């Protein structure tokens, strides 16, 4: 069976985990090197700002280039993201609005990475004109229902060959930490495993996707197929940013934001206005731990 998706924890994802795990700070050299790998640096959004605290997993972004065409009967295959990726293959913003119709504070509250960009559009006579837009590239992950660190036990049913996941609760016997000789170990394939993970949800509406496709992709709705998802860390901080007319406005922005997890799949079509949002479960997990008996 050919996989329909691939997911990768990035180099920056691994580095951020250890930064938050141990009572040590990054070296100045490492901090500066990773500063150049932030989404802030790439988009010119508060790129020199120092986070007031260790960045946390808070946001997600989307893209439209998670798969490629093949000569196989199925026609498409997902890309396998690289651990060195710092951005999605072909990202699109969640919102793309003219500066004179920026989001209200209430609307803006769920988005991050607000970029001011000059974009060439064409009038009714097909003449080019430059207009300015605010692009919002990230959206908050909803941790309200599932935002807890949990551990599941994965067990293989030998009769059906299906793996079953259930919440892992240590037994009294496991507290003894008895040694397990190598000659008596199960194989990795036959042993149970446990995984520790944190889960949240992300909502992607067709209207968000269509807005971006209309502005940035010439309205080609064949491209309105979300096939990339990235999880991003950052620190939420109140900033004073431009309003596009020389004034300023205060809002919450993601500071020192890194791509830490990149998933590619064969895509979901979001080209129909008014359809229900695509709600995706966003999860990161540790490496599998084999339970020996």
User: Tens digit of pLDDT for each residue in 251-280?
Assistant: 999 999 999 999 999 999 999 999 999 999
Q: What is the pLDDT of residue 85?
A: 95
- Using CA atoms, how far apart are residues 292 and 286, in angstroms rounded to an integer? 18
Task: For residue 102, tell me if it sits in a domain.
Answer: no
Q: Which of 4-18, 27-41, 118-132, 275-289 has the lowest mean pLDDT?
A: 275-289
Percent of the chain at pLDDT > 70 equals: 90
Task: For residue 11, tell me if it sits in a domain.
Answer: yes
What pTM was computed for the model? 0.86
Task: For residue 172, tell me if it sits in a domain.
Answer: no
Mean of the pLDDT values across residues 163-188?
69
Is 142:277 a contact under the CB 8 Å cutoff? no
Helix axes 28-35, 11-21, angle to 10 degrees: 140
**Maximum average pLDDT range among 84-93, 162-171, 188-197:** 84-93
Task: For residue 188, tell me if it sits in a domain.
Answer: no
Task: For residue 19, tell me if it sits in a domain.
Answer: yes
Mean of the pLDDT values across residues 182-204?
70
Task: For residue 186, tell me if it sits in a domain.
Answer: no
In the predicted structure, residue 141 carries a pLDDT above the cut 90? yes
Q: What is the pLDDT of residue 277?
A: 96
Task: For residue 167, tell me if it sits in a domain.
Answer: no
Is 8:283 a contact under the CB 8 Å cutoff? no
Mean of the pLDDT values across residues 147-169?
79
What separation, in Å, do the N-terminal and C-terminal C-alpha atoms of the chain show?
Answer: 31
Tally of structural domains, the chain? 1
Mean of the pLDDT values across residues 34-46?
94
Residue count of the chain: 293
Task: For residue 100, tell me if it sits in a domain.
Answer: no
Q: What is the pLDDT of residue 88?
A: 98
Question: Which is more confident, 80 or 192?
Answer: 80
Confidence of residue 289 (pLDDT cuts 50, 70, 90): very low
- The residue written with tokens 């949002």 in the block is 277
Confidence of residue 185 (pLDDT cuts 50, 70, 90): very low
Q: Which of 24-28, 93-97, 113-117, 197-201 has the lowest mean pLDDT?
A: 24-28
Task: Report the Cα 207 to chain-centroid distance in Å.
Answer: 19
Is 202:60 a contact under the CB 8 Å cutoff? yes
Q: How many CB atoms lie within 10 A of CB 167?
A: 8
Domain that holds residue 208: 5-90+142-146+198-291
Confidence of residue 287 (pLDDT cuts 50, 70, 90): low
């Amino acid at each position: 069976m050919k996989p329909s998706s691939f997911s990768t924890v990035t180099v920056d994802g691994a580095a951020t985990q250890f930064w938050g795990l141990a009572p040590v700070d990054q070296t100045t050299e490492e901090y500066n090197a990773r500063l150049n790998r932030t989404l802030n640096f790439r988009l010119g959004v508060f790129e020199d700002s120092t986070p007031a605290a260790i960045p946390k997993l808070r946001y997600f972004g989307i893209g439209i280039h998670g798969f490629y065409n093949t000569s196989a009967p199925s026609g498409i295959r997902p890309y396998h993201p690289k651990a060195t990726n710092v951005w999605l293959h072909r990202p699109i913003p969640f919102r793309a609005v003219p500066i004179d119709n920026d989001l209200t504070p209430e609307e803006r509250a769920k988005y991050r990475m607000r970029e001011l960009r000059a974009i060439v559009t064409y009038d009714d006579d097909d003449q080019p004109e430059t207009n300015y837009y605010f692009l919002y590239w990230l959206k908050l992950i909803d941790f309200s229902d599932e935002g807890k660190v949990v551990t599941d036990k994965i067990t293989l049913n030998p009769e059906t060959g299906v793996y079953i996941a259930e919440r892992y609760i240590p037994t009294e016997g496991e507290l003894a930490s008895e040694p397990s000789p190598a000659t008596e170990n199960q194989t990795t394939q036959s042993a149970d495993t446990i995984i520790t993970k944190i889960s949240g949800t992300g909502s992607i509406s067709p209207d968000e996707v269509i807005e971006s496709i209309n502005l940035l992709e010439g309205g080609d709705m064949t491209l309105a197929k979300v096939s990339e998802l990235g999880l991003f860390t950052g620190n939420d901080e109140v900033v004073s940013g431009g309003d596009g007319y020389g004034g300023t406005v205060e809002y919450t922005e993601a500071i020192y934001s890194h791509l830490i997890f990149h998933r590619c799949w064969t895509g979901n079509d979001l080209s129909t206005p008014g359809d229900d949002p695509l709600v995706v479960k966003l999860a990161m997990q540790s490496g599998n731990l084999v339970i020996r008996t």
